[in-house]
Structure 1
Amino acid sequence: MRHLGLRASASSPCRVRVRPCASAPPLSPSRLQQRVTFPATAVRATRASSPHHRLDAVRHNDAEAIPERLAVVTGANKGVGLEVCRQLALQGVTVILTARDEKRGKDATETLRHESQLPNIIFHQLDIRDDDGVTSLAWYIKNRYGKLDILVNNAAVSGIVADEEGLKALNIDAETWTSGRAANLLKEVFQNANDEALNCLNTNYYGCKRVTEALLPLLKLSTSGARIVNASSLASELKRMPNEKLRNDLSNIDVWDEDRIEAVLNTFLEDLKSGRLEEAGWPMMLPAYSVSKMVINLYTRIMARRYPEMRINCVRPGFVKTDINWNLGVLTPEQGARGPVMLALLPDDGPTGCYFDQTEMVNVW
């Protein structure tokens, strides 16, 4: 794996000059299909009859009330997402912390606002799988702030039903886990359930796409330069894809758009249902999660080509000790947040369409 040596600290924006990775002309928007329903990219009014979607704020006329930089972080009530909110707020960014669970999200926000003395943290409930919830967030931002500068797509699920006691009993070390060599051991404690896999794809890929498309009109109005950061994973790296043809195809950005990504995901789900994952050459360690992150990398590159004026990148936070890996990780959330925060604060001439392993740019295609 070739590291290109781009580093930054968590306490300061990245100060680098790197030729952008995405230089091809923009792609034409593709037609979205029916497997999962998406919201329109334009911001729509929420349903007035639903108290859950009713706005609690109106646009501020006072220009001083509009923050210089405004960020949205998804899946942010704990772990890396919560730490990303904290580190961005420490840099003076106004942060909208979003979470699916309203109580947990509000509690996390109050902790940051009071215990960490960060008044520039705001909570908004968001389930990224829900069209109405995503539209409500976009409408709230449009009416209160009129623009968005940073989007960190952090929310994700593992796509696996795990026997947690059996997993702990295996006592797998970090190097075995991250190398992928644990796949055979994990067959005893992991179950690739169809419903969990579908939820994983709907959250990790379609949810990311749903939020991004809904907030794009506001990102285009950014006054400081729009930044999109998509959380990826070591499991996304193409060397982990046994299917050689698909591995080669995934490395060729020129042939991909959202329709083709969806076709691949549909094929994956069909192979899962028919018990053909290994035979068809899909990754066998966290298969739905791995595939979802591979296509997140693709989607990041597609969007970077389509919107060259923005800085759009994906990042592996590292093997962080969080719920998504059953707390088997070795890094702290503070360490895991450094890469996403660095990319959220990139300068205007920073890289775009690239993959980062924590704070290092890595060539994984």
Structure 2
Amino acid sequence: MVKGYHKDIKDTKKANEVRDKAHEVLVVLVGQLAEEIAQIKRERDVLANGTMVDGDMVEEVIELTEQETECWNRAEDITPQDESEPKEAQVHIHPASILITPTNKVGDAGSGIRIQRVALQDIGQVVKKRPQSSCRVKEKESGFGMPTTERMLETRWANVHFDRHERQIRCAVVTGANKGIGFEICRQLALNKIQVILTARNESRGIEAVKKLNASGVQNVIFHQLDVKDPTSISHLVKFIETHFKKIDILVNNAAVLGIHYVVETLLYSGGQVQIVDKNGDYLPGVIQETYEMGEECLETNYYGTKKVTEALVPLLQLSKSPKIVNVTSSYGQLSHIPNDELKRELDDIDNLTKERINEIIRSFLRDFKAAKLRENGWPLTPSAYKVSKAAINAYTRLMAKELKYILVNCVDPGHVKTDMSFNTGKDVMEGAKGPVMAALLPDEGPSGVYFEQTVIAPF
């Protein structure tokens, strides 16, 4: 902190010398901070343009933002902690508030330097582009009848308007979002003034998705690579959010795989919807392939991947004033699709069910899958792993809602939507995304631990 006035300084000349000395220090400090922030801002623009793609770039941006944080800390170090002492001239240095107003009111009012707080959006008008640093002196009459010198720092650093308000914007993460419902969820959240981090396993597809949104006029979407099955990938996402956004407000778990392979792309149709139901199971082997490895991957992605991402991001959600978790599910996950009544009752008994027990149920399913005992032991059939994964997600949603009282945790079935999974049959993705987006934007007093059938609460 720089103090340019002391109650013993009554002489105008002395007061002005102190003021000018403090101002010189201020010019140097503000110049250094402005230059550093301008450089960091240029690098961060990579994010705003949606072109930050690979791990090396992630690490580079993280390093730059750590430098930015250090810069903010230095600014705080030279900012007075106690602004309640009007007789001490205090220099407030803020990288986004650098309109300097030295005063020379001598007498009881004291003499010193003030920094006029400037609206963040007006910083571009304060920091001017110029070949070299300079100060312009403008004399005007003060209300006290004495001249007041206003010095506006003009620097060579153009457009230094690093908006600290960016840290306060609402931020959402959407997994599996390079196409289909996930892509549309990103678009609709962004149109609701949410900063969206669109994630996808495939970097090139994720980048193209962001470019497509940007081209349509949706700018507040950026891309970050995420493989929900890979702990390292999840860790990189967490670090990225911690560095750039400090917290998140919304998590939409949309990433999922069907766990089957279509051998013949002409199935049984009724009303335009693919009929993959257990009663047709005897007819499906020739048209649908569902191996043990596919089932294992399906559960690893749909259930364990969702669980890993959620639990990694919960600490950042807890920093939000209005946190929401939305798990995109399916009607295939409803308990009515499970023939085994005992298993059905167990998954519905949320008071006694545990996450450990869900893990045991999944392991039991995989053992029976491998041993070809799914029908014998009352498991759902094709797509069996997908149905079990969504039933597990529904149960997990209810458990997390019990555990995380401060976070609204819900699951949403978007309905039969026109995506790759449905052979592009069904309703438009704009309609399908309405349910998850509605759940993501619920008021704080909204329900938690419920199953939405599109936008209406329905039984599990």
TM-score range, shorter chain: 0.7 to 0.9
The one-letter code matched in structure 2 to 1:208 is T
- Determine helix, strand or coil for the equivalent of 1:349: coil
Go from structure 1 to structure 2 and tell me whether the alpha carbon gap of 1:89 and 1:63 turns closer, same or farther (over 3 Å shift): same
Map Cα deviations across residues 175-225 of structure 1 (whole Å, 9 max, x no partner). 6727765444423312221111111001000000010011111000013x1
Please tell me whether residue 352 in structure 1 is matched to residue 453 in structure 2. no
Go from structure 1 to structure 2 and tell me whether the alpha carbon gap of 1:185 and 1:357 turns closer, same or farther (over 3 Å shift): farther
**TM-fit CA distance, 1:63:** 2.5
The one-letter code matched in structure 1 to 2:61 is D
Map Cα deviations across residues 107-140 of structure 1 (whole Å, 9 max, x no partner). 00011012x2111001001111100000000000
Go from structure 1 to structure 2 and tell me whether the alpha carbon gap of 1:53 and 1:255 turns closer, same or farther (over 3 Å shift): farther
Q: Say which of 67, 79, 93 aligns to 2:180.
A: 79
Task: Count how many residue pairs are aligned between Structure 1 and Structure 2.
Answer: 310
In structure 2, C-alpha distance between the alignment counterparts of 1:322 and 1:181, rounded to whole Å = 24
- Aligned Cα root-mean-square deviation (Å): 1.8
The one-letter code matched in structure 2 to 1:144 is H
Please tell me whether residue 56 in structure 1 is matched to residue 61 in structure 2. yes
- Determine helix, strand or coil for the equivalent of 2:375: helix
1:146 paired residue number: 246
Go from structure 1 to structure 2 and tell me whether the alpha carbon gap of 1:249 and 1:52 turns closer, same or farther (over 3 Å shift): farther
Q: Say which of 211, 219, 222 aligns to 1:110.
A: 211
**TM-fit CA distance, 1:313:** 0.1
Give unpaired runs (5+ residues) of structure 1. 1-49
Give unpaired runs (5+ residues) of structure 2. 1-54, 73-162
Question: Which structure is larger by alpha-carbon Rg, 1 or 2?
Answer: 2
Go from structure 1 to structure 2 and tell me whether the alpha carbon gap of 1:253 and 1:52 turns closer, same or farther (over 3 Å shift): farther
1:276 paired residue number: 373
1:21 paired residue number: none
Q: Which has the higher contact order (CA 8 A, sep 6+)?
A: 1
In structure 2, C-alpha distance between the alignment counterparts of 1:160 and 1:191, rounded to whole Å = 6
In structure 2, C-alpha distance between the alignment counterparts of 1:345 and 1:187, rounded to whole Å = 42
Q: Say which of 279, 285, 308 aligns to 1:187.
A: 285
- Determine helix, strand or coil for the equivalent of 1:76: coil
Map Cα deviations across residues 64-84 of structure 1 (whole Å, 9 max, x no partner). 122421000000000000000
Q: Say which of 296, 300, 305 aligns to 1:198.
A: 296
- Determine helix, strand or coil for the equivalent of 1:188: coil
Further displaced range: 52-61 or 297-306: 52-61
1:317 paired residue number: 414
- Determine helix, strand or coil for the equivalent of 1:324: helix
2:275 paired residue number: 177
Contact 1:320–1:331 under 8 Å retained in 2: yes
Q: Say which of 406, 419, 439 aligns to 1:343.
A: 439
The one-letter code matched in structure 1 to 2:294 is E
1:124 paired residue number: 224
Map Cα deviations across residues 209-263 of structure 1 (whole Å, 9 max, x no partner). 010011111000013x100000110101111100111011111111211111110
Go from structure 1 to structure 2 and tell me whether the alpha carbon gap of 1:111 and 1:86 turns closer, same or farther (over 3 Å shift): same
In structure 1, C-alpha distance between the alignment counterparts of 2:453 and 2:431, rounded to whole Å = 12
- Determine helix, strand or coil for the equivalent of 2:369: helix
Please tell me whether residue 220 in structure 1 is matched to residue 287 in structure 2. no
The one-letter code matched in structure 2 to 1:342 is M
- Determine helix, strand or coil for the equivalent of 2:416: coil
The one-letter code matched in structure 1 to 2:373 is R
Map Cα deviations across residues 141-198 of structure 1 (whole Å, 9 max, x no partner). 00111110000000000111221xx241544544672776544442331222111111
In structure 2, C-alpha distance between the alignment counterparts of 1:52 and 1:66, rounded to whole Å = 21
**TM-fit CA distance, 1:309:** 1.4
The one-letter code matched in structure 1 to 2:253 is N
Contact 2:267–2:275 under 8 Å retained in 1: no
Please tell me whether residue 160 in structure 1 is matched to residue 260 in structure 2. yes
Go from structure 1 to structure 2 and tell me whether the alpha carbon gap of 1:67 and 1:324 turns closer, same or farther (over 3 Å shift): farther
The one-letter code matched in structure 1 to 2:218 is L
Contact 1:176–1:182 under 8 Å retained in 2: no
In structure 2, C-alpha distance between the alignment counterparts of 1:197 and 1:176, rounded to whole Å = 20
In structure 2, C-alpha distance between the alignment counterparts of 1:56 and 1:255, rounded to whole Å = 45
**TM-fit CA distance, 1:300:** 0.3
Contact 1:67–1:93 under 8 Å retained in 2: no
In structure 1, C-alpha distance between the alignment counterparts of 2:241 and 2:208, rounded to whole Å = 21
Map Cα deviations across residues 261-303 of structure 1 (whole Å, 9 max, x no partner). 1100000000000010111111013100000000000100010
The one-letter code matched in structure 1 to 2:205 is R
Superposed structure 1 runs of 4+ greater than 6 Å apart: none
2:401 paired residue number: 304
In structure 2, C-alpha distance between the alignment counterparts of 1:182 and 1:55, rounded to whole Å = 53
Map Cα deviations across residues 13-51 of structure 1 (whole Å, 9 max, x no partner). xxxxxxxxxxxxxxxxxxxxxxxxxxxxxxxxxxxxx73
1:20 paired residue number: none
Contact 1:160–1:191 under 8 Å retained in 2: yes
1:9 paired residue number: none
Please tell me whether residue 137 in structure 1 is matched to residue 233 in structure 2. no
In structure 1, C-alpha distance between the alignment counterparts of 2:402 and 2:458, rounded to whole Å = 18
TM-score (norm 1): 0.81
- Determine helix, strand or coil for the equivalent of 1:97: strand
Q: Say which of 331, 335, 338 aligns to 2:427.
A: 331
TM-score (norm 2): 0.65
Go from structure 1 to structure 2 and tell me whether the alpha carbon gap of 1:173 and 1:55 turns closer, same or farther (over 3 Å shift): farther
- Determine helix, strand or coil for the equivalent of 1:129: coil
**TM-fit CA distance, 1:319:** 0.5
